[in-house]
């Protein structure tokens, strides 16, 4: 079957699956971004008390994936994310959120095609959970990956794509952005384009709301205090990640390092970049095994947490991080030819 029809069939299949999973509405994670874009169109500061109250109420309104803890927080994304999402803010509630999810899904399918990764990786629990809750990590992972793919042939566009990803969710891609600059001989063009994109959107955000940075940092601190028990990081995996990056699988090693450093909610979608960027290095059966392990952890975890409240950290470690690290370390699991990072031009 030709690649394009197969891509479209996969896209329709996954989209139908998502709609069947929660027919009463999209996931709520991207709602603050799209709703903030609507507030910007209306001339309202998304970090103002009335706007935050609206978003907190939407987190617990009728429909799928109600989030009680989120209703205590509100908007935690930077204002730059809302500016990037301005086109989606022109659409009414639900439709704009569905369009944001569909755009991220389509970009991810395009990335998988360019990386020659089998499309069935979309059925991994990490990817499906990102789709189900409509987490922006779906779009940011796709943008970062597309920026990496385009860094050799279209460095200016690569910088724009990476810049947009960091403007939406900066903590999820800093190391990956640095890797792109390291491995491409066109690092100057990529870097200038990335910084220009950030400066234009960042400057516009400061014109719209000069005090938004302080308001955003306060919201991030509130988020960390409310979700403290669920935030996990794995700094002890960093030495192994660096060894993998330098000796085995550079892109997978960087993704593992990113996962090791950044505190993330201990749920499957947080580890989607690790699965996606490890995939080009792994044999098909190894990648399939990694997806199966993730599904097994998700099933066991839903029951284990009832009896062992501290199990989540161990479950995430053995369900996602450690299996990916081991597979990226052992040649048995790797494809015969593992590309090394290209030397940066001086």
DSSP 8-state class, residue 92:
P
For the chain, the distance separating the N- and C-terminal CA atoms, rounded to the nearest angstrom, is 44
What average pLDDT score do residues 40-46 get? 95
Residues 268-277: tens digit of each pLDDT: 888 899 999 9
DSSP per-residue letters across 246-267: HHT-HHHHHHHHHHHHS-EESS
Q: Is the CB of residue 47 less than 8 Å from the CB of residue 209? A: yes
DSSP 8-state class, residue 345:
P
Report which of 275, 279, 270 is spatially closest to residue 312, judged by C-alpha positions.
270
Report which of 327, 185, 153 is spatially closest to residue 253, judged by C-alpha positions.
327
pLDDT at 233 over 90: no
pLDDT of residue 251: 92
Question: Which has the higher per-residue pLDDT, 77 or 11?
Answer: 77
Q: Which residues contact 80 (CB under 8 A, 6 or more apart)?
A: 167, 168, 198, 201, 202, 205
> Residue length, the chain?
346
Q: What's the mean per-residue pLDDT of the chain?
A: 85
Q: Which residues contact 321 (CB under 8 A, 6 or more apart)?
A: 234, 237, 256, 259, 260, 271, 274
Q: Is the CB of residue 261 less than 8 Å from the CB of residue 232? A: no
DSSP 8-state class, residue 334:
B
Residues 281-300: tens digit of each pLDDT: 999 999 999 999 988 887 77
Q: Is the CB of residue 344 less than 8 Å from the CB of residue 184? A: yes
pLDDT of residue 35: 95
pLDDT at 226 over 90: no
Distance between CA atoms of 240 and 102, rounded to whole angstroms? 35
By CB atoms closer than 10 A (0-12, 13-18, 19+), residue 7 is: middle
- Tell me which residue has tokens 């002890």: 236
Question: Which has the higher per-residue pLDDT, 260 or 266?
Answer: 260
**Strand segments (E) across 46-192:** none
What average pLDDT score do residues 70-79 get? 91
Q: Is the CB of residue 126 less than 8 Å from the CB of residue 269? A: yes
pLDDT of residue 338: 47
pLDDT at 13 over 80: no
Domains of the chain, residue spans: 3-226, 232-333
pLDDT at 124 over 70: yes
Question: Which has the higher per-residue pLDDT, 7 or 104?
Answer: 104
Q: Is the pTM of this model over 0.75?
A: yes
Q: What percent of the chain has pLDDT over 70?
A: 84
Q: Is the CB of residue 145 less than 8 Å from the CB of residue 111? A: yes
pLDDT at 265 over 80: no
Question: Which has the higher per-residue pLDDT, 3 or 90?
Answer: 90
Distance between CA atoms of 36 and 52, rounded to whole angstroms? 9
Residues 295-346: tens digit of each pLDDT: 888 777 766 665 655 566 677 788 888 999 999 999 999 998 644 444 444 4
pLDDT of residue 16: 61
Pull the structure tokens for residue 6.
């197969």
pLDDT of residue 342: 45
Residues 155-192: tens digit of each pLDDT: 999 999 999 999 999 887 888 999 999 988 999 999 99
């Amino acid at each position: 079957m030709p690649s394009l029809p197969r891509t479209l069939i996969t896209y329709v299949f996954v989209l139908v699956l998502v709609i069947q999973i929660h027919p009463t509405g999209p996931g709520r994670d991207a709602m603050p971004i799209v709703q903030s874009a609507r507030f910007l169109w209306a001339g309202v500061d998304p970090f103002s008390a009335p706007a935050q109250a609206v978003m907190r109420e939407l987190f617990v309104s009728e429909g799928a994936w109600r989030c009680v803890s989120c209703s205590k927080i509100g908007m935690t994304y930077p204002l730059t994310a809302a500016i990037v999402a301005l086109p989606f803010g022109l659409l009414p509630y639900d439709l704009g959120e569905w369009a944001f999810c569909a755009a991220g899904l389509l970009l991810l399918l395009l990335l998988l095609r360019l990386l020659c990764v089998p499309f069935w990786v979309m059925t991994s629990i990490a990817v499906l959970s990102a789709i189900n809750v409509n987490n922006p990590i779906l779009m940011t992972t796709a943008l970062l990956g597309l920026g990496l793919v385009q860094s050799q042939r279209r460095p200016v566009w690569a910088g724009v794509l990476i810049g947009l990803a960091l403007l939406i969710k900066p903590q999820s891609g800093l190391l990956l952005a640095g890797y792109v600059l390291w491995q491409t001989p066109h690092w100057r063009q990529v870097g200038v384009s990335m910084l220009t994109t950030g400066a234009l959107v960042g400057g516009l955000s400061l014109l719209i709301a000069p005090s938004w940075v302080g308001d955003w940092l306060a919201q991030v601190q509130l988020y960390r205090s409310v979700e403290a028990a669920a935030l996990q990081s794995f700094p002890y995996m960093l030495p192994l990640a660096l060894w993998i990056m330098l000796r085995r699988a550079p892109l997978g090693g960087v993704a593992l390092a990113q996962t090791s450093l950044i505190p993330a909610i201990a749920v499957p979608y947080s580890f989607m970049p690790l699965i996606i960027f490890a995939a080009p290095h792994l044999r098909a059966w190894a990648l399939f095994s990694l997806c199966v392990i993730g599904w097994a952890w998700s099933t066991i975890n839903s029951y284990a947490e009832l009896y062992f409240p501290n199990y989540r950290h161990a479950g995430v470690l053995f369900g996602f991080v450690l299996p990916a690290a081991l597979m990226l370390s052992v040649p048995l699991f790797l494809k015969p030819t593992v590309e090394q990072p290209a030397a940066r031009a001086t």
